[in-house]
Structure 1
Amino acid sequence: MKLKYTLLIMVLAIWSVLNAQPRLSDPGATKETVALFSNLFKIRQKGYLLGHQDALAYGVNWKYQKGKSDIKDVVGDYPSLYGWELGHLEIGADLNLDSVPFDKMKSFIKKGYSRGGVITLSWHGNNPLTGKSAWDAAPGSVASILPGGTKHEVFLQQLDRVAVFLSDLKGKKGESIPILFRPFHELTGHWFWWGAKTCTAEEYIRLFRFTVNYLRQDKQLHNLIIVYNTGTEFGTKTEFLERYPGDEFVDVLSFDTYQHSSQAVDTAFVTKLKHSLSVIDDVARERNKLAAVGEIGFNKIPYSDWFTQVLQPALRDHKMAYVLLWRNAGYKHQDGTTEFYAPYKGHASANNFLRYYNAPETIFQKEARTLKLYK
């Protein structure tokens, strides 16, 4: 009898987890934001949104051409997820750190949303302690901007500028455009001022919570879906959650990863990617959160079958809501390097990407529009 009772409790617990209704961490979220979050859960049964950073602003050998996108040139369709960067907004600049004018970015965001696409924003904010870039990992940076810190007011000014931009993102009916907001990302690395070697886990958690509360409560922004985004420096659920701010501050669990070491199938990269996907898949299921890949890519795509032979099979057995390819910066005059993570017309990987586009699980703009993600 006791065994039967125990088994019943276990079955009910499992049923409860599997059937729990997803809820945004913000109880005051707008109806469009709630709808998007709920629909991102639903589409995981079919596949995932495929995104591209700065997709509408520039690509390989072009910049600011109306209606253009490297991905659209290859497959005849836009990505369903548009990534943009807020870095330098906090210092009052007209251009972001990748030289995209903020007024143009705002227009691109509204265009993507009007097509039924989804918007995600990252923020490589300048270090409030030193005034230098996000990559200035000076010790004590996070401690200095927490309440009571010497640079707290500087940080508040930065947040205020970000809040003004976010509050001005409106649809045609005046509704706030839902945003997947990804602050203080790659936190497990050492290269940013909010990184693991620059602050304690407690300091990072306080920073994340303060930022979310300030934007929600003080600035009344209720169109934000909050993304917790690590690097690849984790191997277990415990390590992934070491600096986790808590369920009431996070909606999406994600990580960033790039292939670097080979021009063919890198076994080590694939093994690590599959393991990382399994970890966040498990954590997301346990906490009723979305799982996603915040950034991914293989610069210049030297292996032409990378999308169908590496990325697609790695993702196949996991419930990701979206995957974001990094930007197609093209040739960069400042350092003489070339950077692109999605194919462009004529590139050797274009035909392979078209096969990836036609896979049943990948969701691009045309299909996303039919899914009516905001209703």
Structure 2
Amino acid sequence: MMKRHIISFVTASLFILAASPAASAHTVSPVNPNAQPTTKATMNWLAHLPNRSENRVMSGAFGGYSLDTFSMAEANQLKNTTGQLPAIYGCDYARGWLEPADITDTVDHSCNSDLISYWKSGGIPQISMHLANPAFTSGHYKTQISNSQYQHILDSSTAEGKRLDAMLEKIADGLEELKNEGVPVLFRPLHEMNGEWFWWGLTEYNQKDSERIALYKQLYQKIYHYMTNERGLDNLIWVYAPDANRDFKADFYPGSSYVDIVGLDAYFADADSIQGYEELTSLDKPFAFTEVGPQEMNGSFDYASFINAIRQKYPKTVYFLAWNDGWSPAANKGASSLYNNSWTLNKGEVWDGDSLTPVVE
């Protein structure tokens, strides 16, 4: 039986580390030195998951886009299919395809109430953003922009920069609500930047653009400094997530001072052939599969092969987050094998309301 009191939960938002050889010998801290005690404890805990012999990979699932499609339906479907709830539940704050009169209306954080409840009952929330394109008044999240347009977005004195700042302010308001409840957040901004389908990424298939890469780093760092230094969001665990099916996975890396977890967004037919694990783990940060699903949405993929590949080829993995709809494990084969594998850690096995499960067995 596991001992469950390495980290004690003494208030709704305060963890205190008890004496532990593993914790005292090698504590892994968030990049934000002012992170909340809860967030510090969670970061150290997940960084040490690979030390375990079992219960070492947090399961995850995507719940949808806030206000538009987000609900607990995906979690409940997985529960019905596997008997388990995912340890991590994801929400996307930004519906960048919408074209309202006010670009900030593409941002919504009404999923927070469910995420707060999920944390309080033993899970961890994840937030991502499909940001509307500030080069336009709204929408256009998949419309490519020039590097000069990118520079305008980075400049807060321009109309484009003001639109970006307005969206960031509303996103920060949502994250602040979670902070005030003591909820740590896996925060994944500007994902799949090495692909050519989002405005913040490349413009051509696998064509390296050094200026573009430098602009991306500036944008990521701008968001980090705003959220951390201006808004004091000390509950964020920062996640860097390039696409597995494109090159230049580490080229966009904004620096070790801005990233807590590195990962891959991976859609695949063969789980044994995912590209980028060695490239990302060489950055010396905890590794995750930050978004996963089968390439084909026909229900034929066997997710048992994915957890087997993690065990055999990607053993440093600390979590995976499976997408919903036709990519969902519940809509394919092997969901029970994935969520009930001895390596998989589900909701309620992260913490029980009083303590995180131990760093090592």
Normalised TM-score (structure 1)? 0.75
Report if the CA contact (8 A) 2:243-2:265 is conserved.
Answer: yes
Which consecutive unaligned segments of at least 5 residues does structure 2 have?
1-24, 97-101, 205-210
**Change in CA separation of 1:149 and 1:195 when aligned onto 2, cut-off 3 Å:** farther
- Aligned partner of 1:200 in structure 2 is 212
Report if the CA contact (8 A) 2:250-2:280 is conserved.
Answer: no
Partner AA of 1:85 in structure 2 = D
Percent of aligned pairs with the same amino acid:
23
- Rounded to whole Å, the distance in 1 between the matches of 2:65 and 2:196 is 31
- Aligned partner of 2:257 in structure 1 is 248
Report if the CA contact (8 A) 2:76-2:85 is conserved.
Answer: yes
Partner AA of 2:197 in structure 1 = W
- Aligned partner of 2:18 in structure 1 is none
Question: What's the Cα RMSD here?
Answer: 2.9
- Aligned partner of 1:145 in structure 2 is 153
Match of 1:324 among 310, 313, 321: 321
- Aligned partner of 2:339 in structure 1 is 357
- What are the superposed Cα offsets for residues 130-179 of structure 1, whole Å, 9 maximum, x if unpaired? 23331112223421111366322221111111111111125xxx543111
- Rounded to whole Å, the distance in 1 between the matches of 2:224 and 2:120 is 26
Partner AA of 1:121 in structure 2 = I
- Rounded to whole Å, the distance in 1 between the matches of 2:61 and 2:356 is 18
- Higher-helix-fraction structure: 1
> Are 1:294 and 2:303 matched, yes or no?
no
> Are 1:216 and 2:224 matched, yes or no?
no
Match of 2:91 among 78, 84, 87: 84
Answer with 249-258 or 191-200: which moved more: 191-200
- Rounded to whole Å, the distance in 2 between the matches of 1:85 and 1:314 is 27
Q: Secondary structure at the match of 2:306?
A: helix
Report if the CA contact (8 A) 2:61-2:321 is conserved.
Answer: yes
- Aligned partner of 1:263 in structure 2 is none
Partner AA of 2:347 in structure 1 = Q
- Rounded to whole Å, the distance in 2 between the matches of 1:85 and 1:184 is 12
Normalised TM-score (structure 2)? 0.78
- What are the superposed Cα offsets for residues 188-241 of structure 1, whole Å, 9 maximum, x if unpaired? 000101012286111111111111001111111111111111012456xxx332
Report if the CA contact (8 A) 2:267-2:293 is conserved.
Answer: yes
**Change in CA separation of 1:228 and 1:180 when aligned onto 2, cut-off 3 Å:** same
Partner AA of 1:361 in structure 2 = W
Could you tell me how far 1:301 is from its partner in structure 2? 5.6
- Aligned partner of 1:112 in structure 2 is 118
Could you tell me how far 1:181 is from its partner in structure 2? 0.8
Q: Secondary structure at the match of 2:349?
A: helix
Report if the CA contact (8 A) 2:217-2:253 is conserved.
Answer: yes
Report if the CA contact (8 A) 2:290-2:320 is conserved.
Answer: yes
Which consecutive unaligned segments of at least 5 residues does structure 1 have?
1-18, 260-265, 329-338
- Rounded to whole Å, the distance in 1 between the matches of 2:65 and 2:45 is 24
